[in-house]
Amino acid sequence: MPKILILNYHVELPIVSEIPKRYPNHLGRACTRAMWYADSGDIIVSPVELDDDFFEYVARAGGIDLDSVTVTVRGEKLYDDVLLDKGLVTLLQGRVAGDASWTLMPCNMTEGVAELARLLGIDAGIEMQFAAERGADLLNRKSHFRQLAVGSGLPLAPGAIVRSPEGLFRAVTNLLAVTGTVVVKQDNAAGGAGNIAFTSGPLNPLPGAAETRPVPDDLAAMAVLWEELTEAQDPVLVVESFHHTVNAFFFEYFIGKGGQVTLLSNPEFKRRLSHTDGEPVWAWIGLEIPADAPAATLADALTRGAWFAAAVAAMGYRGYMNIDAIVTDDGRLIFNEINARWSGGLVLHTIATRLLGHRYADNHVISSVRNVKPAPFTATLDALRARGLGFNAETREGIVVVAHGPEDTDNTECLIIAESRQRVRELESLVNEELEVNEALAESERAVSVY
């Protein structure tokens, strides 16, 4: 079925809306990655121009008839009012021409997406009714996740949902007794950008937290923190005990029109401690699929995650969703959050499926490297070809360029495909040697992207 790809990044979460200001090229990189979702005959609605050279590369790799793909660029983030602009709606109506086989594939399922479906005559099933009522809001807030997860049997970190400075003070004081460190999370944020860790110990950087601070010592200091982190229209924070991890991974699910839940992939986070401006910072440097976690724990997590996804389907949500989890250093399984939108691992899964087939994880490992040193796309591609490192369909291994730029000063993201983790590590070393990896922390690494 032909689809309309809607690249409505950065439209739902306030903290994510600020990412383009802090990392100016983040939106462009996200849209570069999204080219991999296209199929022959699709329409892409993009907030930015798409790189023709890179799109040709994607089309060759994925067997896409590029001439049959329509791209319309709006020149601004795709908020609902932009999606419902009369000119865009008329253009899409002319292209769709009343064909009921068309579908929509948005990053975020919003009210505007539901209204656009109605205007285009695309089947407005329960998923569009759910979106029209802002149903995704139930699934993208950390407080709601804790409330829903308890009822679905997901193990959580000890925590509390707080609605006042006094409640925040009590929660932080009580939860410090668990591990000596707590994380205060903004309710409507993403990617760790709204998380502040407070500790009674050394102020070391911690994975999943934007910064580590000493514990405020009185209610007045806590009230200042409250004002800093809360939204005036919805003053809610989540406080949880912090636990050191040995594995951090997530499950990517797709919920189909009939409510069927399908597991797509289970990526593991690759992180490293780096430095920027002399300060140590944990950086997300890529994902690896499948996750290398204890088998029984992974099976337990998969089962519980599928239960939760089924509950989400019963509510009416349809589309992509992901559920984060960790294994602590004492062996416990803890779930962290749910995101009802595309994940950073979806594009990697899409590439591997195109190149290797749906059961690629039976006999392959794929691993992304987000911090390959900046270079023009064509130069990176030439370097891979010259050294025989590009993906080879016969050997079924090699390196694929996932995203670049859009500026020549931005890091490139690559995907390593091989038949074992050992071979992945060997190819990773070659990437380090031949293409070079940025050892200094780039801003694009520091942003724990949700895309």
Query: Could you tell me which residues come within 8 angstroms of residue 223 by beta carbon, excluding any fewer than 6 positions away?
Result: 165
pLDDT given for residue 206 in this prediction: 87
Question: Which long-range contacts (C-beta less than 8 Å, at least 24 apart) are formed by 178-181?
Answer: 178/241, 179/241, 179/242, 179/243, 179/244, 181/206, 181/241, 181/242
The DSSP bridge partners found for residue 198 are 182, 213
Q: What is the pLDDT of residue 423?
A: 97
pLDDT band, residue 276 (cuts 50/70/90): low
Two tokens at 104? 């929509």
Q: What pLDDT sits at residue 180? A: 94
Residue 177's φ and ψ, nearest 5 degrees, are: -65, -20
* Position 195 confidence tier, pLDDT thresholds 50, 70, 90: confident
DSSP 397: B
Nearest one of 112, 108, 109 to 81, comparing CA atoms: 112
Residues 255-269, mean pLDDT to the nearest whole number: 94
In angstroms, rounded to a whole number, what is the distance separating the alpha carbons of residues 449 and 19? 9
**Phi and psi at residue 378, to the nearest 5°:** -60, -35
Q: What is the CATH number of domain 344-451?
A: 3.30.70
Read off the pLDDT band of 449 (50, 70, 90): very low
- Give pLDDT tens digits for 379-404: 888 889 888 999 999 999 999 999 98
Q: CA 152 from chain center: how many Å? A: 23
Greater confidence (451 vs 179) lies with 179
Residues 202-207: what's their mean pLDDT? 87
Is 158-241 a domain of CATH 3.30.1490? Answer: yes
Task: Tell me the CA distances in angstroms from 138 to 1, 188, 232, 337, 340, one per residue in order.
Answer: 29, 11, 19, 12, 9
Read off the pLDDT band of 207 (50, 70, 90).
Answer: confident
Residue length of the chain: 451
Minimum mean pLDDT among 251-260, 317-326, 365-374, 411-420: which range?
365-374
Find the distance separating the first CA and the last CA of the chain, reported in whole Å.
Answer: 24
pLDDT higher than threshold 70 for residue 21:
no
Q: Dmax over Cα atoms in the chain, in whole Å? A: 65
420 vs 151 pLDDT, higher one: 420
- Residue 409 has a CB neighbour count (10 Å cut-off) of 9
Q: At residue 282, does pLDDT exceed 90?
A: no
Question: Higher model confidence: residue 99 or residue 144?
Answer: 144
Spell out the domain ranges in the chain. Answer: 3-133, 158-241, 245-339, 344-451
- Regarding pTM above 0.75, the answer is yes
CB burial of 143-158 (b: ≥16 within 10 Å; e: otherwise) equals bbbbebbeeeebeebb
Among 354, 348, 400, 404, CA closest to 374: 404
Which of 256, 279, 227, 200 has its CA nearest to residue 440?
279
Residues 6+ apart with CB under 8 A from 24: none
pLDDT digits (tens, 9 = 90+) for 328-379: 999 999 999 999 999 999 999 999 999 999 999 999 999 999 888 878 888 8
Q: CA 416 to CA 390: how far, in whole Å?
A: 9
Name residue, tokens 């995101």.
339
Number of CB atoms found within 10 A of residue 244's CB: 12
CATH level 3 topology of 245-339 = D-amino Acid Aminotransferase; Chain A, domain 1 (3.30.470)
Residue 439 has pLDDT above 60, yes or no: no
In 3-state terms the chain splits into helix, strand, coil percentages (rounded to 5) of 35, 25, 35
**What is the structure's pLDDT at 98?**
79
pLDDT tops 90 at residue 118: yes
Going from the C-alpha of 51 to that of each of 29, 344, 400, 403, the distances in angstroms are 10, 20, 16, 10
User: Is 445's pLDDT higher than 50?
Assistant: no
**Does residue 442 surpass a pLDDT of 70?**
no
What are the residues whose beta carbons fall under 8 Å from the beta carbon of 176, sequence distance 6 or more? 182, 198, 200, 215
What token pair was written down for 218?
A: 């009185």
Q: Is the dihedral of CA 5, 11, 16, 19 positive or negative?
A: positive
CB 70 within 8 A of CB 30: no
Alpha helices in 207-252 (DSSP H): 219-229
What is the per-residue pLDDT for 192? 57
**Structure confidence at residue 280 as a pLDDT band (50, 70, 90):** low
Both tokens of 204, joined, read 């070391």
Tens of pLDDT, residue by residue over 292-333, are 999 999 999 999 999 999 999 999 999 999 999 999 999 999
Average pLDDT over residues 204-229: 86
Mean pLDDT of the chain: 88
Cα 359 to Cα 180, 267, 383, distances in angstroms = 43, 15, 30
pLDDT above 90 (res 437)? no
Of the chain, the percentage scoring pLDDT greater than 70 comes to 89
Q: Extract the tokens encoding 279.
A: 């300060």
Instruction: Give the model's confidence band at 434: pLDDT under 50 very low, under 70 low, under 90 confident, else very high.
Output: confident
pLDDT for position 266: 96
Which single residue is written with the structure tokens 């029984």?
296
Residue 327: strand pairing partners: 247, 333
**CB contact at 8 A, 349 and 264:** yes
Give the containing element (helix H, strand E) for 146.
Answer: helix 142-151
Looking at residue 406, what is its pLDDT? 64
Q: Quick check: 355 and 347 in contact, CB under 8 A?
A: no
* Range from 38-47, 151-160, 226-235, 337-346 carrying the lowest mean pLDDT: 226-235
Residue 250 and residue 322 in contact, taking contact as beta carbons nearer than 8 Å: yes
- Check: CB of residue 127 under 8 Å from CB of residue 317: yes
231-235, 280-284, 411-415, range with the lowest pLDDT: 280-284
Using 50, 70 and 90 to split pLDDT, how confident is the model at 25?
A: low
